[in-house]
Amino acid sequence: MSQINEFNINSNAGLAPLSSVDMSLQNLQKKTAQIRFSLDLANNNLSKYLTLRHVQDQNERLFYHYIRENIRDSLPYIYTPSVGDACQNYSYLNFSPRGLYLTYRDGQSVAEQVNQINQDIDIIVVTDGSRVLGLGDLGIGGMGISIGKLSLYTAVGGIPPERTLPVCIDVGTNNEALKNDPQYLGDKQARIEDDKFYRYLDEVMSALAARWPNAIIQFEDFSNNHAYPLLKKYQHQYRCFNDDIQGTATVAVASIKRALTKANKQAKNAKVFVVGGGSAGCGIADLINRSFGFEQGAVYLVDRDGVLFADDPLNEMQTPLARPTSERPVAGEPLALLEAVKHIQPDVIVGVTGVTGLFSEAVIRAMAEGTHMPVIMPLSNPVSACEVTPQQVFDWIGDQAIVMTGSPFAPIEFEGRSHVISQCNNVYVFPGIGLGAHVVNATTITDTMLQKAMDALASFECARNTDYEVLPAIESTLDISKAIAHAVAIQAIEEGASAEQNLTLEQLTQRIDKAFWNPNLDTFHA
């Protein structure tokens, strides 16, 4: 039996209550100064993560005030890369229980557990911890991802914290280190077989939807073999989407479009390599195909053996994205990454592999030789899983490329200029997607709604961007969330995927503004 029972959620949903001592806005600045002091004393990312988690447990309004005022500095500590360290060490961390753990082998009814929670919930983030970032199977450590994503839903998406619910499904682990760790609090048996897994997910989804029929459910960090089947099964049955597939695709494709514009290239003529044939890579390639209107351009999905062609062994996601067999240079022979870059000369290369250093010096030099100002996007998280670092790119080819990353990197100093590296972070899109779907009570989240979210980010005007910076400043994410919420909500109404059919644009704006929770307008508590 799993040891996680002691952390199972109770009727207060495990959210840390605010204390009863009122706190004025004047004192708020003193409290935020204390947080900064504590963070300065913390000597590593995990310590900074824990510092902020303790603030969150003690006083959520103070926590979110601090995050909104310091989003650029705090984002790396409440999410990537620090959350990866937290998930790896989750059973060793000391903080208040938060979230709902559902343990398969305990044999408890999911509906009975869910029905004990007496809060209204708008957004649910659920994971089974089977593929956490680029770190693999971390079991119940995946709860850190659900908690972190919902922190961002509140910080930049305006969802009140008490109306969010992080969920971790514990169906065992195949991580031998966790099985042998006496401190590990989850189920130490092997992950359950697929038939049991899918039946249990049916039970989970049915119970969550029955308890909160209007809640948006976001899937996070499910393994590649389960992520797409779950999305395909539930996409039109429940109000749900998969952030690893659809959120990553939305921000990545918007970023590519912005980068191509900076490089004075047209999307319809661009050749794009998406390296990584898993759920994230297939999601990115699919959205590119649907939104670029190719004339002379094309998208190429590249897996471990090279470019995927129609005569390769393919899974359900990869099949419609493979290139025609007639394009294979040598019949029956694989076209490996480096040779493919030299042969096809792509304008863009995106990495979602989790393979450190995959974009070698030879690959990067070949990109620069094949096209003017290539767009290089190593998106794997955390930093330790990055396909190439910005510094390496600058060392090898100077500033003759546009680099965007999945993890945060400091600006690169090159020939007397500071180059800001845009972080292609899902935080730009998923809070707005959830907010927009929520405010119009969307009955489903469609591909066209996500495409409108991508368009909203791709066209969002920046006030501060440098010549090199591609994405809007991270401080703009609150405004971006509202813009994406508008786009998603309008599309939901137009295609009949919303229970609201008679809202004017003015009414929609008012509804979004009203729904957008602001910690500064509420009574603060110490």
Question: CA-CA-CA-CA torsion for 88, 206, 208, 99, nearest 10 degrees?
Answer: -20
The answer to whether residue 226 sits within a structural domain is yes
* DSSP string for residues in 429-471: THHHHHHHHHHTTBS---HHHHHHHHHHHHT---SS--SS--S
For the purposes of burial, counting CB atoms within 10 Å of the CB of 523, is it exposed (0-12), middle (13-18) or buried (19 or more)?
exposed
Residues 279 and 367 in one domain: yes
- Consult the annotation and say whether 199 binds a ligand: no
The answer to whether residue 297 sits within a structural domain is yes
Q: What is the mean pLDDT of residues 403-430?
A: 94
Residues 441 and 309 in one domain: no
Structure tokens at 9: 């959620």
Q: Kindly indicate the confidence band of residue 424, based on its pLDDT and cuts at 50, 70 and 90.
A: very high
For the purposes of burial, counting CB atoms within 10 Å of the CB of 441, is it exposed (0-12), middle (13-18) or buried (19 or more)?
middle
Q: What is the mean pLDDT of residues 70-98?
A: 93
For the segment 444-467, what is each residue's pLDDT rounded down to a tens digit? 999 999 999 999 999 998 765 566
Q: What is the pLDDT at residue 308? A: 98
Q: What is the pLDDT at residue 26? A: 67
Q: What is the pLDDT at residue 501? A: 79
Q: Kindly indicate the confidence band of residue 384, based on its pLDDT and cuts at 50, 70 and 90.
A: confident
For the segment 205-230, what is each residue's pLDDT rounded down to a tens digit? 999 999 999 999 999 999 999 999 99
The answer to whether residue 117 sits within a structural domain is yes
Q: What is the pLDDT at residue 500? A: 81
Place of tokens 């099985």: 179
- Evaluate if residue 471 carries a pLDDT over 60: yes
Residues 389 and 315 in one domain: yes
- Consult the annotation and say whether 244 binds a ligand: yes
Residues 129 and 152 in one domain: yes
Domain containing residue 166: CATH number: 3.40.50.10380
Domain containing residue 338: CATH number: 3.40.50.720
* Separation of alpha carbons 129 and 284, rounded Å: 22
Of the residues 242, 266, 293, the one at which a domain ends: 242
Q: What is the pLDDT at residue 419? A: 93
The answer to whether 220 and 146 are in contact (CB under 8 A) is yes
Domain with 130 in it: 79-242
- Evaluate if residue 244 carries a pLDDT over 80: yes
* Separation of alpha carbons 498 and 491, rounded Å: 9
Residue 456: CA count within 13 A, CB half-sphere? 27
The answer to whether 434 and 216 are in contact (CB under 8 A) is yes
Query: For residues 383 and 442, which has the higher predicted lDDT (pLDDT)?
Result: 442
For the segment 254-269, what is each residue's pLDDT rounded down to a tens digit? 999 999 999 999 999 9
Q: What is the mean pLDDT of residues 367-392?
A: 95
**Tally of domains in the chain:** 3
The answer to whether 61 and 18 are in contact (CB under 8 A) is yes
Q: How many CB atoms lie within 10 A of CB 510?
A: 12
Q: What is the mean pLDDT of residues 10-17?
A: 35
* Separation of alpha carbons 139 and 144, rounded Å: 11
Structure tokens at 410: 């400091």
For the segment 284-320, what is each residue's pLDDT rounded down to a tens digit? 999 999 999 999 999 999 999 999 999 999 999 999 9
Residues 164 and 298 in one domain: no
* Separation of alpha carbons 109 and 301, rounded Å: 42
- Evaluate if residue 515 carries a pLDDT over 50: yes
Residues 269 and 390 in one domain: yes
Q: Whose CA is closest to 464, among 450, 478, 475?
A: 475
CA dist 282 → 17, 303, 374, 471 (Å): 41, 10, 21, 22
- Consult the annotation and say whether 425 binds a ligand: yes
Residues 151 and 134 in one domain: yes
Q: What are phi and psi of 184, to 5 degrees?
A: -60, 130
Q: Kindly indicate the confidence band of residue 10, based on its pLDDT and cuts at 50, 70 and 90.
A: very low
Peptide bond into 213 cis (omega under 30): no
Numbers of helices and strands, H then E, in the chain:
19, 16
* Separation of alpha carbons 356 and 94, rounded Å: 31
Q: Kindly indicate the confidence band of residue 479, based on its pLDDT and cuts at 50, 70 and 90.
A: very high
Q: What is the pLDDT at residue 17? A: 39
Q: Kindly indicate the confidence band of residue 525, based on its pLDDT and cuts at 50, 70 and 90.
A: very low
Q: What is the pLDDT at residue 11? A: 29
Judged by DSSP in three states, 217 sits in strand
For the purposes of burial, counting CB atoms within 10 Å of the CB of 71, is it exposed (0-12), middle (13-18) or buried (19 or more)?
buried
3-state SS string for 101-164: EEEHHHCCCHHHHHCCCCCCCCEEEEECCCCCCCCCCCHHHHHHHHHHHHHHHHHHHCCCHHHE
Q: Kindly indicate the confidence band of residue 170, based on its pLDDT and cuts at 50, 70 and 90.
A: very high
Percentage with pLDDT > 90 across the chain: 85
Cβ-proximal residues to 108 (8 Å cutoff; 6+ apart), any chain: none
pTM of the complete model: 0.92
The answer to whether residue 30 sits within a structural domain is no
Of the residues 383, 408, 424, the one at which a domain ends: 424
Q: What is the pLDDT at residue 466? A: 60
Structure tokens at 111: 């509906």
Q: Catalogue the active-site residues.
A: 79, 149
The answer to whether residue 129 sits within a structural domain is yes
The answer to whether residue 278 sits within a structural domain is yes
Percentage with pLDDT > 70 across the chain: 93
Q: Whose CA is closest to 46, among 88, 6, 82?
A: 82
Residues 234 and 289 in one domain: no
pLDDT, the chain, mean:
92
Query: Which stretches does DSSP call E strand in 369-526?
Result: 375-378, 402-405, 412-414, 417-419, 422-423, 524-525
Residues 434 and 479 in one domain: yes
* Separation of alpha carbons 266 and 297, rounded Å: 9
Residues 441 and 410 in one domain: no
* Separation of alpha carbons 449 and 252, rounded Å: 16
Residues 289 and 224 in one domain: no
The answer to whether residue 524 sits within a structural domain is no
Greatest pairwise CA separation for the chain in angstroms:
74
Question: CA-CA-CA-CA torsion for 3, 138, 226, 292, nearest 10 degrees?
Answer: 150
Residues 89 and 229 in one domain: yes
The answer to whether 71 and 60 are in contact (CB under 8 A) is no
DSSP code at position 19: P
Q: What are phi and psi of 166, to 5 degrees?
A: -85, 135
Q: How many CB atoms lie within 10 A of CB 370?
A: 16
The answer to whether residue 60 sits within a structural domain is no
For the segment 191-210, what is each residue's pLDDT rounded down to a tens digit? 999 999 999 999 999 999 99
Of the residues 227, 242, 257, the one at which a domain ends: 242
